[in-house]
Structure 1
């Protein structure tokens, strides 16, 4: 895999295809996040709220989008991350995570990122700024 620092503007990161969304994913996320709103875990409560069924937490989807950068954490870190939620994510949907480098400035890389469902609809769209670590000069001890 190429180093992130070697990417050129316009290049895309390797897409990540997630396993279908399960109720267990959402129950585990509810426990980890403390967001126990029943529209994310209980069909009847989601339907009472006018939804077609259980929907994923928006922050669950957002957190998954950051997985695109996991292979590059030795090179730097996500410095800034903003998203727009566009569609609800329902059980059994298959999401694909995507990112494209749009700008390089100094040690910052700017990406447009998105998660799309199996119908190719964007469910979340965002901007991620990845900061590369500053190079450290080697110090020779004589």
Structure 2
């Protein structure tokens, strides 16, 4: 059973330009700032950036993998604080998700606070989720 202060192990996700193209196809978000350096530059960005919802989805993936069977995410929210720059290399860049169980609510649900970094930069802030477990 989980308890307050329990930690989610850090989970790294590798993002490459190929991943961004696949996400664009799946999501329907074909904005060229997610695949073209020249278009990203015209938009005032230092390079191609990952979709914000992709970063949020990876955080949710880490959470649900950790929470396991019987857990339902009933709330999930975040603030997008920094873009994730994805270089045009085979190595791409890693997004690392971790977190801590913040505590239990009166209704028995569990609040989890997540951390999401790319290198030393915090790319999502106030990333919080509420889980309900089957009884």
> What corresponds to 1:11 in structure 2?
6
The higher-RCO structure (CA 8 Å, 6+ apart) is 2
- CA drift at 1:114: 1.8
> What corresponds to 2:32 in structure 1?
38
> What corresponds to 2:16 in structure 1?
22
Structure 2 gaps of 5+ residues are: 87-91
Structure having the larger proportion of residues in strand: 2
Q: Report Cα offsets for 1:9-34 as digits up to 9, x if no partner.
A: 11111110122x21011101101101
Residue 81 (1) aligns with residue 76 (2): yes
Residue 127 (1) aligns with residue 121 (2): no
> What corresponds to 1:112 in structure 2?
113
- SS across alignment from 2:99: strand
- CA drift at 1:77: 1.2
- SS across alignment from 1:44: helix
Q: Report Cα offsets for 1:61-117 as digits up to 9, x if no partner.
A: 000001222243412111110001111001132211011100112431101112111
Q: Which has more radius of gyration? A: 1
Q: Count how many residue pairs are aligned between Structure 1 and Structure 2.
A: 127
C-alpha RMSD over aligned residues: 1.3
- SS across alignment from 1:18: strand
**Aligned equivalent of 2:60, options 61, 66, 70:** 66
Find the aligned partners of 1:70 and 1:94 in 2 and give their Cα distance.
18
Give yes or no for contact 2:101–2:110 (8 Å, CA) kept in 1.
yes
Find the aligned partners of 2:18 and 2:72 in 1 and give their Cα distance.
29
